[in-house]
Every structure is written in C-alpha cells, then in structure tokens.
Structure 1
Amino acid sequence: MRARWAVGLVAALSMVFGGAAMSAFATAPPSLGAGYVLDDVNVLSSSDAAAAQTRLEQLKADTGLDLWVVYVDTFTSPSDAAGWANQVATDNGLGPTQYLLAIATESRQFYLSGDSAGPVDEEALGAIEQQRVQPALQSGSWLGAVDAAADGLTDAASGGSGGAAGDAGGGALTAVLVAVFVVVVIILVIVLVTRSRRKKAGAGAPGAAISPPVDLEELGRQASSALVATDDAVKTSEQELGFARAQFGDAATGEFEQAIASAKTDLNQAFTLKQQLDDGQEDTPEESRAWNEQIIALCARANDGLDDKAAAFDELRKLEQNAPEAYARVQAERDTVASAIDGARALLAQLGGAYTPNALSTVADNPAQAADRVAFADERLTAAQAAIGAGNGGEAAVEIRAAEEAISQARLLEDAVAKMQNDLAGQESGAEALLTELESDIATASALPDPQGALAPVIASTRQRVDAGRAALAGPVKDPLAVLKSLEAANAQIDGVVQGARDAAAQADRTRQMLGQSILQAQAQVSAAEDYITARRGAVGAEARTRLAEAGSSLVQAQQLQSSAPDQALQQAQRANQLAGQAIQYAQNDVGAFSGGGSMLGGGSTGGGGGNGMLGAVLGGIVINSLLGGGGGRSSGGMGGIFGGGGGGRSSGGGMSPGSFGGGGTRSRRGGGRF
C-alpha cells in the first residue's frame, strides 16, 4: 500500500510542477564513496560534480563541517526522506559535525540530516532546507542545491540562522506549497476511499501494518535489530541518568526516570514477544508477522519516549557550560576506579584458586576490560583537557561524556568480580542445603513400600548425584553452580516419588525452603548476565538480551508470588535461572564471535583495545558508529569514522559521539520537504 501511495503521489506532484510522470526506481541507503558527492542518477555533469566537490571541500576548510550530497531516484527501505537520510548517515558512521543532504530526483523529496548534538541546531537546519535548498531544487538546479546547503551551513556555523537573507520569492514558494497541499489532499481522499473499499472486500489480514510486505525473515531481522538498538538506548540512558542524578539529585531527574520506566515497559513487552517467537513452539506465519511488527512498534514507541526527553536532559546536564568542573569530577572518578583494578585482579586470582574457570567465565577478563576502559577514558580526558584549553567547550563535553561512560563500565566490571565472590559463596551454601534435603528425601523414599521396584532406581540415581555433589564441593577447585544444577535435577526426580508421602505442612515447608534457594540462585544468575551484557553490549545480539529480559521478568514474578503462591513462585524462579544461564551462553558466543575467537577480548586478555582502549570501547557500546577511516571524503580502514568519519580528519578525539540520553532519534528530524 505504501509503495503504491508513493508512486501515485510522485506522479501527481510531477504534473503539478509541469514535468512528465516518470517511473520511479527504488534506492536503498547506499555506502558513501571517496568524495563528498554520490550521484546515482547522473543529474550532474562531470564539471558540475567537480564543482560540487570543490565547494564542499571549501566548506570543510572554512567551517570544519562536512557535507555529503546524495542524488538518487526514489527513497526506499525506508521510504520516508528523513528515515532514509538518517539511515545513510548512521550506516556510514557520520559524526556530530557531519551532515548529509539526500535528494530523490524522481519522487522530488529531499532531507538534510544532522546530528542533534552537532553545532548546527534543528531550527537552523530547517531554515537551510526551506529557505535555501528547496528554492534551488524547485528551480531545477541540482548543483545549486549543493551551493545553497553549503552556504546555509557556513552561515549557521558563524552564528547566523542558516536561512536566506530576506524573503524574496516567498510568494512563489507559497503558491507552490498551496498547489502541493491541494494535490496531497486529493490523493489522501483517493487513498482513504481505496482503503475503505479494500476493507469491505475483506482486506486487512494480520501483519498488514507494514507495507509493502516484507518477507518474514527480513522482518525478523528488523525486529531483532530494533530490540538491540532500543536496549542499548535504554541502558545508555540509564547510565546518563545515573551521572545526572549524582550531579543534580533525585528531584531534578524524576521526569527522566519516568521516561526510562515507560521505555522499559515497552521494551520488556517486546522482549516477551521475541521470547514467544524463540520458544521452540511452532508459530503460524500470521503470528510471526504480527509479533515481529509489534516488536518494531513497541521499540519505536520506547525510543520516541526517550527522544522526547533528550533535549530537556541535555539542557539539564550542559556539560559544555561547565566543562572544567565536569573534567575535574570525572578525572577524580577515573583515579578511584583505576586504583581498584589491582584489587579486582588480585581477587580474581584468589577466586581462581578455589573455583573452576567455568564458574568464573563471566568475570574472567573483567580486570583486563576495566583497564581497557580506563585507557580509553584517559585518551578522552586528554582530548577534553586540550579542548578546554582551546576554549572549545562543545568538544570537551563530548570527550568528557565518553570518558564518563567508560569509567562507569570499568567500575561495573570491577564490582562484578566482588559480586561473583558473594554469588559463588551463596551457591555453595545452596548446594550444601540441597544436599541435606536430598539425604532426607532418600531416607523418606527408602522407607516407602516398593512392590514394583520403581523406587530403587530413583533412590540409587539420587544417591549417586549426592555423592558426586559432595565430592565436587570438597575438591580443590569447585563449580557450585554446576553442582546445584545436577542436584536440582535429582531433586525434581525424587520429589515426584516422595511428595505424596509428605503431609501438607511438610510439603509447604519444603516448597518455601526450595523457593528461597531458587530465588537467590536466580538473582545471582540474572545479575551476572546483566553485568556481563551491559559491559559488552556492543557485541551482544537480540537472543541474549531477550533471554535476560525474560529472566528478569520471571524473577520479579517469583518475588511477587513468594508469599501468596509459593508453588508458582518456585516455577518462575527456576525459569529465571534457566533463562539467565541461556543469556550468558548466547552473550559469550556473541563476544567470542566479535573477538574472532582469539585472545584479544577473551579471558585473561590484557585489554584488547590497544593502547587507547578503542576496541574495548566499541565492545562496551560506548562507541557505536561504524569503523570508517579518515582522510579526504571517505576512505576505508582505521578508526576515523568513530571520531567524526572522513572529510579531512580531526585532532585526537575530535567529533566523537558517544551515547547520550535518548532513543534512536540521535539525528535531528524536522521533516525535510518536497520540491
């Protein structure tokens, strides 16, 4: 439906502007080439293309801003101008000082994409679009649109509004807009009538919300990508909120907590749907389509809710205005965290003498990863100090924010080692208690009549597992979680035999005791999975995050049902424990794939990010842009894209864009327009 609507609108607008209706060719977001201009439809002559490149190189030299211009026939995947242009910018790793003008020559749409954290604000970008670019395109000057956009950015960079001087031509523009409006209204009426007729004819099957139809496999990939991106946005927003709460107090951050809570509600619902898709039960194509579409819609709503508060949050923090004070605060936090790395390393070595590598797998490289994050923070703080000295508060703020998040992750990684020590001790205690219970069950089962010989094998199997469990806990190195899992399997088997022999009171007491142990075990597993994924979220995909979200949901239900329905609570706690274990396994597989199976990011590594911790920052999700190179235009290789991409390169750290409070709308959205 949407594709046919777009074609109809293009044809109608072509008639309004006096041109013959032309067939539209869909163009997906492309990769940018070596220059500033990508002309896929050959609307520029070779001399025009050279002139455009020269003008954009001059823009870079004059302002430090990059502008890429892309000409295609029609936008698709996504089909809206804003989504298409922002997708190109995101896919190509454009930074805050880098802009992209997308022009669809046949569907006559355009959009100027810019990062909301960049030096040209949304109002100025809108003025450039409407007062400069649109008139040039309406006059048929493809090259003129490049000059217009470059002139507008130059004006905005020097403190101007970005718009054209005066309002000459406003009457003509108004007339054009009125004509466009009339055509749009007419076509909307046609579309509504058509839709109404189709509904009466029986249209509207499940999954019709996304049009044109997307095959189920692609829809599933889109849903998984939306989950990962939204989960990252929520986690980053939570970190940013923690920084703000420490700086300004709870009273000043209440509205942002509510925004995150609302986003998490939508995200958790989306994860529940994803779990239904992954649970092994066969789903109909209609169910799969409907659930994936709901996942995408829920993620979009979660992101929009965060984006709505992003500007207010940035206004609250205003790191740019107090960069020296923020630098001093983050530097002090850095020193505290760095001094704790040796302690975490020593504790891990101590634990390694008592527990198996498998028991410590989620924290095995935590000290090395913490050192990696601190190294990255040092690079960013050095760049921030230089920016402060040069009077560039905006660049200093970006660097400080990146350092702040790196230090936060380093602290999380260190704390996880100490938390693991407590969790392992708790698992040992739980295993010892379960051994005692199983001994009692064996005695109870042995006293029961067994005329058919059904009890003897169960008793023998339980005895074997109990003896193996005791031996494992008494060994030089232990894996208490593995022992617990083995004993729980034995417990489930023998419980079916002796449950009827217990009176109601004894059974209730037994359930409560097992529930307490199961909840503690689930809490430890969920916590370990959460810490592992949070500090490595740059590599972790949708499956691990889905299992973790479901584990957390089941744990909450277990805690809520603990008093009123202990039997149900026990089932939920056991489910939470199982799902958290799956989340850890999926996440470790993802991290292993990220590191290529080598030692770079694996257990016992020395950091993996090199001297400046960059790869670790990518692994931790602190830096999430594509790894693209610097130099004139765009080139391959290196890390330049993370620091603002191509277009002449920048000083160390210049143009870097770490995560901040908000959802997916990190690139400004104003609406673009038609011409």
Structure 2
Amino acid sequence: MRLAHTALGGAIGVMWLVLPGVTAGHEGHERHEVPVSAVGSAPGTAAQEDETSTGDLVLPLVAAGTAIAVAAYGYARRRRRNRTAPAVPATGVTPPPAPELDRQARRSLVTADDCVRTSREELGFVEGLFGAEAVAPFTEAVRYAETELSAAFQLRQAYDDNPADASRDTLDEIVARCVDAGRRLDAEAAGFDQLRALEQDMSGALRHAEVRFRELNGRTGAAGSTLADLGERYAPTASFSASAQVEQAKDRLVFATTSLNRARQSADLGDTDRAVLHLRAAEGAIAQAEVFVDGVDRLASTLAAAAQAVPEALDEAEAAVVEARERLADEGHVRRAEATLAAVREEAAAGPYDPLEALRRVAEVSAPLGAVPAALRLVARGTTTDTDALIGTHRGAVAAEARTRLAEARRLLDRNPTEADTFARQARDLAERDIRAHGNPYGGRPEHTNGIAGAVLGGILLGDLPDAQGEALTGGAPGSFGGPATRARRGVAP
C-alpha cells in the first residue's frame, strides 16, 4: 500500500511538471491568431507569460519533492522494520499459518516481558553500587524496551478485542516490536558486564547483596506482624491477596541464603564463573523477596487510605442519587444504588469490613449516575501494582494473556480508573489460573526444599533445575540483564 501511494505521488508530480509545457504549447498556437493591432503589447505580454510559467513550476516541483520524501521515508521505515522483524520466508515458502503466528506473538510477548523485568531487577543492584549516572545508558535501554513492549501489548489487546477484524500484520508487528526491544537490551549487555566487572572483583557486589539480604530478612518478620494486624482490623477478603506473601518471601530468602553461601565459597576457591552464577541467582531472589514484603506494606497503606475515603465516597454517591432521582424517568437504578449505598454504610459502621471492595461497590452504582468517586483511582492503582507484583514473581508460569491485560490496566490507569481496575482484576485472575495450572512439579523432592522450585516459578532460574547436589545447572542459568540472546549468559556447564 505504501508503494502504491508513493508511485501515485510520483506520477502526480511528473504530470504537474509536464502540464505547464503542454499548456504553453497550446497557448502558443492561440497567440499566432492574435490580430496585428495587438502586436504592440506583445513584449509586456511575453514577460507576464514567462513569470506565469515560472510560477507554474513551483507547485509541481514541491509535489515532486514531496513524492521523493515520502518514498525515502517509506524506504527508511522498511529498512528499519526489516532489521527488527523476523526473517521473511523465502520465495515459494508458505508463511506460518495464523494459529502458529499467534503462538509466536504470545511467546514473543512473554519473552520480552521477562527480559525487561530481569534487566530492571539487576539494574537496581548495579545502580545501588555505582549510582544513577553510571547506569544511565542501561536505564535508557530498559525504557526503550519498555516502550516497544507497551506498544506490542496494546496491539495484542486490540487483537484480542476484535479477533474477527484482526490481521496477520498485527501479529507481525507484535513480534517485530518484541524483537526490537530484546535486541536493544542485547546490544547493551556487554557494556553492562563491563561496568559490573564481576569477573575481576565481585567482592563489592557480594557485600551489597548481603546487606540488602540482611535488611530484607528483618523486614520480613515485621511484614508477618503487619499481615496479622490486617486480619484483625479488616474483613478476611481485604488481606487475602497478600496472605501468602510473607511465606513466599521467606522461600525466596532461603534460596538467596544458599546462593550467597555458594557464591562466597566459589569465590574463595577461585571459581569466578560459578561464583558469579550464584551471585546473580541470589540477587534475583532478593529482588523478588523485596517485592513480596513491599506488597504487604503497600496493602496496609492502601487499606488505611481506602477506609478514610469511604465516608466521603458515600456522601458523593448519595448526592448523585438525589440529583438523579429528579432527572431520571426510570428509577430502577436509583433504587438499586440507594440499597447498595445503604448496605455499604451499614457494613462500614458495623465492624471489620473490606474498604477497597466497598469503594468498588460505590463506584459501580455511581458510574451510571455520572459520579465516580475520586478514591477509585487509589483502588485501581493498588490492584494494578499488586497484579504486576504477582506476575513478576511468578513469571515462570504466567502466559501472555494475563500480561496483556495488566499492560492495558497500566495504560488506562490515569485516564479511566474504573476500566483500569477491571483489567487489573482480570489480569490477576488469569495469572492465578496459570499459576495453578503450572503447579509445583518439584514438590516433595528433598533436593528441592531449599527454595529452588520458587526460583524456577519466579523466573529467577531459566530452564531446568540443579541436580540432586544442587551444584550444576542442567541446561539453565540465572537470568541477567539483556535480551533473549544474552540473558542466560551466566550459565555454567555441568
């Protein structure tokens, strides 16, 4: 289609260039028929005609230049996309069928999302050691990858919303953007390793990881107390989503303890490669344990803020009901809204309740009346952040659909909190479904009671598990900063 547009623009430009000459020739024939009495004015007329002919050339030249610019832009776009898109099948080779292309797009989204998450986690450790200025190029690379991935997820959401109208071009674009994101991270991996220089001296990185581990270990105990307090202050549904997070944080810290010890031992023995491998595994586990603990603290703050916002939200909604009763002919929804608001107010006054769910109910009956509580943005932001944490710490099991809904929730968060909350809850349900389906295939095996199963589920370890002694990775490695081609580079052959 671009080629057709370019050709059409060029044809128009050429036509405009030729047209003045044809017109001039036609006018020349007419001038031979001018009466002799008009000859005296011929010089002035000729000058005017020359100016007119020159003016006539301006628009055609602009059109031709525009056509050339469009052609050059289209060529540059195609060159860029060809560098990032998957190889086009050779002539005579049948392209993959639509179902296979769909699966490829889903795999690309999951892989790119994992690469971005792992890169962001390791970048946090390096920034803690060297500062934000030193890691600026790598921070920019992650942001670029996030932008491309966000666009790919938006395309996927549009594809899922209208599968009947979707095209192969959409799937191709999704894959191309994911490839582009991964290649940008791959391109920075060597420079990132050069900055870390773990093979030369990993003592500073090891001490930094151990400090974070000790701080987090103390916070985990406090998070357990916080979770117990939430269970007493609010209804069980209010803290249900975080009920297992303290135990999961402990599981990641068990794995981090083992990995840090092995990193120290390997470094003392001069086995630098294996020491770096265990250090990266420990860093990944520490980062995820911190996500679990932060989630408990964040939930406590969100619930407290929601409880304070409920009375004001009820007042706003009840005022909207009074106004709506005067202008709505059908009072069915008004009566339902009144009943819901009365029930929420009664629950809030009676004792422990779920303030987040209360705000959702208030928003649900208020929206048709044109009054959505401002506090709903608080609810949507909390749901989106919690779902992001769930997917990030279980990314070894979560598929593309849940990640796509989460990306849509992020996109809508500021402009439409009601829809954002809905998409975030859908994403959480889908993620939990994937996690249940994945299960724990390594449960009950003695060699896997040291947090390794959780590390695989969390995407900290890529591929298979260590052997019975827990020393060798059989086909896997801890993830590192980088794209699909470089993120498993820390692996050590068994």
**TM-score with structure 2 length normalisation?**
0.75
Q: Which residue of 1 aligns with 2:449?
A: 611
What are the superposed Cα offsets for residues 339-374 of structure 1, whole Å, 9 maximum, x if unpaired?
Answer: 221111111111112334433233211111111111
Counterpart contact for 1:363–1:532, Cα < 8 Å: no
Runs of 4+ in 1 over 4 A off after TM superposition: 207-211
Matched, 1:481 2:356: yes
Q: CA, structure 1 residues 405+316, in 2 after alignment: closer, same or farther (shift >3 Å)?
A: same
Q: Which residue of 1 aligns with 2:111?
A: 229
Aligned positions, number: 400
Inter-partner Cα distance in structure 2 for 1:347 and 1:657: 35
Shift of 1:618: 1.0
| Structure 2: segments with no counterpart, 5+ residues | 1-85, 490-494
Matched, 1:581 2:425: yes
2:479 aligned to which of 648, 655, 659: 659
Q: Which residue of 2 aligns with 1:375?
A: 254
What are the superposed Cα offsets for residues 614-637 of structure 1, whole Å, 9 maximum, x if unpaired?
Answer: 01111211012134x75xxxxxxx
Q: Which residue of 2 aligns with 1:645?
A: 474
Q: Which residue of 1 aligns with 2:299?
A: 420
Alignment of 1:76-225 (within 5 A): 212-225=94-107
Secondary structure of 2:394's aligned partner = coil
Q: Which residue of 1 aligns with 2:26?
A: none
Matched, 1:467 2:342: yes
Counterpart contact for 1:462–1:494, Cα < 8 Å: no
Amino acid at match of 1:299: C
Amino acid at match of 2:363: E
Amino acid at match of 1:219: L
Which structure has the larger Rg? 2
Q: CA, structure 1 residues 551+348, in 2 after alignment: closer, same or farther (shift >3 Å)?
A: same
Inter-partner Cα distance in structure 2 for 1:612 and 1:411: 18
Inter-partner Cα distance in structure 1 for 2:151 and 2:171: 12
Amino acid at match of 2:486: T
Q: Which residue of 2 aligns with 1:626?
A: 464
Secondary structure of 1:252's aligned partner = coil
Q: Which residue of 1 aligns with 2:185?
A: 306
Q: CA, structure 1 residues 429+667, in 2 after alignment: closer, same or farther (shift >3 Å)?
A: closer
Counterpart contact for 2:154–2:404, Cα < 8 Å: yes
Quick check: 291-300 or 301-310, which moved more?
Answer: 291-300
Shift of 1:487: 1.6
Inter-partner Cα distance in structure 1 for 2:176 and 2:141: 17
| Structure 1: segments with no counterpart, 5+ residues | 1-206, 496-509, 559-568, 602-607, 631-637, 647-655, 670-675
Q: Which residue of 1 aligns with 2:266?
A: 387
Inter-partner Cα distance in structure 1 for 2:247 and 2:214: 16
Inter-partner Cα distance in structure 1 for 2:123 and 2:488: 21
Counterpart contact for 2:395–2:458, Cα < 8 Å: yes
Alignment of 1:472-511 (within 5 A): 472-495=347-370
Q: Which residue of 1 aligns with 2:164?
A: 283
Secondary structure of 2:460's aligned partner = coil
Inter-partner Cα distance in structure 2 for 1:295 and 1:543: 14
Shift of 1:232: 0.5
Q: Which residue of 1 aligns with 2:400?
A: 542
Shift of 1:597: 11
Amino acid at match of 1:644: L
Inter-partner Cα distance in structure 1 for 2:447 and 2:343: 42
Inter-partner Cα distance in structure 1 for 2:338 and 2:196: 61
Inter-partner Cα distance in structure 2 for 1:375 and 1:335: 12
Shift of 1:532: 1.7
Counterpart contact for 2:363–2:376, Cα < 8 Å: no
- Which fold has the larger relative contact order, with Cα–Cα distance below 8 Å and residues 6 or more apart in sequence? 1
Shift of 1:475: 4.4
What are the superposed Cα offsets for residues 485-542 of structure 1, whole Å, 9 maximum, x if unpaired?
Answer: 22222112333xxxxxxxxxxxxxx67xx4x323222221211111222122122111
Inter-partner Cα distance in structure 1 for 2:171 and 2:327: 54
Shift of 1:476: 3.9
Root-mean-square deviation (Å): 2.8
Counterpart contact for 2:402–2:426, Cα < 8 Å: yes
Q: CA, structure 1 residues 639+294, in 2 after alignment: closer, same or farther (shift >3 Å)?
A: farther
Inter-partner Cα distance in structure 2 for 1:212 and 1:666: 30
Q: CA, structure 1 residues 439+214, in 2 after alignment: closer, same or farther (shift >3 Å)?
A: same
What are the superposed Cα offsets for residues 544-597 of structure 1, whole Å, 9 maximum, x if unpaired?
Answer: 111111111122xx3xxxxxxxxxx3xx22221211111111112222222269
Counterpart contact for 2:109–2:149, Cα < 8 Å: yes
Secondary structure of 1:643's aligned partner = coil
What are the superposed Cα offsets for residues 136-163 of structure 1, whole Å, 9 maximum, x if unpaired?
Answer: xxxxxxxxxxxxxxxxxxxxxxxxxxxx
**TM-score with structure 1 length normalisation?**
0.56
